[in-house]
Structure 1
């Protein structure tokens, strides 16, 4: 089974027959022990250190269908190498564009993304509220905000409700997490440990959604909730809204409350906090474990991993755009 590989160290990546050869290089230019990765076992690569590679390697990766996602020192997602879009279809492109251009149809889909996101957020809050965490105020406020989604008439109005839901939700983190305070959401840069984990986890969720979109006929640049823009895959942002509470937030609560990640796993600067490599490795391990977890799917009547649930969401959206069935967002039922 193919898997994701994470490259934390700077180094050189090259092709060695039908294998990827990675040579880590330290800050003084000294080479470490080469690592060999059989290409048939790779689904994608995440590069957190500087990577030295040439066009021949990327031609090889493209033919093998391997995506490469790049991140800078401050954990910001900077871009992706995506193989040729072999599944893109003209009919889907036309239908996706039509739904975006039609304000009513676009708004209908955008509302579904918020509906799924709010439902999964409320599930998280109820889970901890039932475990002696007093989250009644946040539950009431988010339910009130969610009740307004159906009557919204424009995307900016909908985005405003979504922002208020998130703000209320994040205010509950200080109650859910035992020994760390979030103190409100801070981004670019994150100002404390919890915000650093949220930013890092959201980035992983975004790229996970992007990867699954790539394996369908959907175009990742045409979105419905977030405004499409230059040089960004905004449809992945749409889908990530549904899955961040499930894939990211639950992992954050786990690694902090179980002390798998502690303050020693962060670098503290004057105006920002970022994860050290030890923290990244621990969080990614927990994130991968979450993706690999399976649930009994009520419709498919079989065990399905959380990772596959993201791809199923893409398929459901595709069917909606092709007017085969009405899109319903994924909602936790357990």
Structure 2
């Protein structure tokens, strides 16, 4: 089974015969290509086009993060699974305003349901009632901009409860740079989820650049942003709450200066390890009546999206029941 490799140290990644060699100032490690699915780089990496060609031949993707843990981009090998029919349907649903907003509304509905579940589990009844009002507003939204406005209000309400939930300072959402530890965790966790969703999209015939809630652009795989909205409350937010409440992360895991805060390498290692473990955890699926991995929930939603696009069934996003 293919694995994901995380390179936290700076070094040089080279092709060595029919395998990979990662060289740092102190060591050399050989990575068999048959065992690699994705590579995450958190340090400065020296590589060349010969290596990228080799990775492309073996279907290996590399995700790059800067010194502070900010996601900067992804190298994807050439297309693996193609479907002309599905591509045409994706474009049709984007170009048709009614079809597009119906899908965009479903992404928002899934996100709001899962956010509400997090608040409900923590006894935030007043916030849940307010969120229900936003859910009704989303049903009436006639434009994508209206939906995005509702989503912004929901997030503001949700984040206003994070200091109470975690006991850590939060204030308001800040991204580049994150102003405090909670913002740093959200940004890093969301980046990890984005690349995870992108992995799953690549395993289907869906195009990652055609989206419905977020506007497609040349610099990002916007369908991954759409799908990530559904899973942020479940795979990122709940993990953050657990790591803080259990004491797995503390102030020592953050590099805090006057105007920014970032996870240290040690903090990133803890989060990555726990995130990978969470994706491998299983839960009994209510409809399938069998155990499925958390990461499989993402692909199940992608298959549901494909059926919707092909006119076989309506897309109903994953709504957390536990």
Please tell me the TM-score bracket, short chain as reference: over 0.9
Aligned partner of 1:282 among 266, 270, 279: 270
SS at 1:147 equivalent: helix
Aligned equivalent of 2:234: 246
Could you list the runs of 5+ residues in structure 2 that have no partner in the other structure?
none
Aligned equivalent of 1:7: 7
Misfit runs of 4+, over 4 Å: none
SS at 1:298 equivalent: coil
Q: What TM-score do you get using the length of structure 2 for normalisation? A: 0.97
Q: CA deviation at 1:220?
A: 0.8
SS at 1:91 equivalent: helix
Aligned equivalent of 2:112: 118
Aligned equivalent of 1:183: 171
Q: What TM-score do you get using the length of structure 1 for normalisation? A: 0.94
| In 2: Cα distance, 1:17 partner to 1:331 partner | 47
Indicate whether 1:72 and 2:100 are aligned: no
SS at 2:170 equivalent: coil
Please list, as runs of the form range in 1=range in 2, the aligned pairs for 1:1-334 lying within 5 A after superposition.
Answer: 1-24=1-24, 31-129=25-123, 135-178=124-167, 180-334=168-322
Q: CA deviation at 1:299?
A: 3.0
Could you list the runs of 5+ residues in structure 1 that have no partner in the other structure?
25-30, 130-134
Q: CA deviation at 1:74?
A: 2.7
| In 1: Cα distance, 2:319 partner to 2:125 partner | 21
Q: How many residues align?
A: 322
Q: CA deviation at 1:309?
A: 1.1
Q: CA deviation at 1:162?
A: 0.5
SS at 1:94 equivalent: helix
Q: CA deviation at 1:185?
A: 1.0
SS at 1:333 equivalent: coil
Aligned equivalent of 1:132: none
Q: CA deviation at 1:247?
A: 0.6
| In 2: Cα distance, 1:162 partner to 1:333 partner | 21
Deviations 1:16-37 (A, max 9, x none): 344321112xxxxxx2111122
| In 2: Cα distance, 1:88 partner to 1:260 partner | 42
